[in-house]
Amino acid sequence: MSARESNRAAFPLTAQIVDELREVFGPGVKLEWAEENGREIGQRELPGTAVAMTDMVLTRPDTQAREMKGRR
Model confidence pLDDT, tens digit, residues 10-32: 999 999 999 998 998 889 888 88
Q: What is the average pLDDT across 36-62? A: 78
The pLDDT of residue 10: 96
Number of domains making up the chain: 1
Q: Residue 46 sits in which domain range? A: 3-68
Helices (H) and strands (E) in the chain, counts: 3, 2
pLDDT grade for 65, boundaries at 50, 70 and 90: low
The pLDDT of residue 24: 86
Question: CB burial class (10 A; 0-12, 13-18, 19+) of residue 3?
Answer: exposed
Is the C-alpha dihedral spanning 8, 23, 13, 28 positive or negative?
A: positive
What average pLDDT does the structure give for the chain? 81
pTM over 0.75: no
Task: Characterize 9-32 residue by residue with b for buried, 16 or more Cβ atoms within 10 angstroms of its Cβ, and e for exposed.
Answer: eebeebbebbeeeeeeeeeeeeee
